[in-house]
Amino acid sequence: MTTWNDVKRYIHSNYKAEDLTDDAIKLLFDTGRLRSQLVFLVHIESESGESWLQVHSPIGDRGEVNLERAAEILSTKVAGGLMIIGDKVLVTNSSPLSNLDTNELVDPMLSILRTADELEDTLLGVDRH
Q: What is the CATH number of the domain that holds 100?
A: 3.30.1460.10
Report which DSSP code applies to 125: -
User: CA–CA separation, 30 vs 81, rounded Å?
Assistant: 22
**64 is a domain residue:** yes
Number of domains in the chain: 1
For the stretch 68-92, pLDDT in tens is 999 999 999 988 899 999 999 999 9
In a domain, 100, yes or no: yes
Q: Is residue 66 part of a domain?
A: yes
Residue 1 has pLDDT above 80, yes or no: no
> What is the C-alpha radius of gyration for the chain, rounded to an integer number of angstroms?
14
Report yes or no on 129 lying in a domain.
no
Residue-number span of the structural domain to which 69 is assigned: 4-124
In a domain, 41, yes or no: yes
Mean pLDDT of the 56-65 span: 96
Segment 18-44, tens digit of pLDDT: 999 999 999 999 998 889 999 999 999
Other CB atoms within 10 Å distance of the CB of residue 15: 15
In a domain, 63, yes or no: yes
**pTM, 2 dp:** 0.93
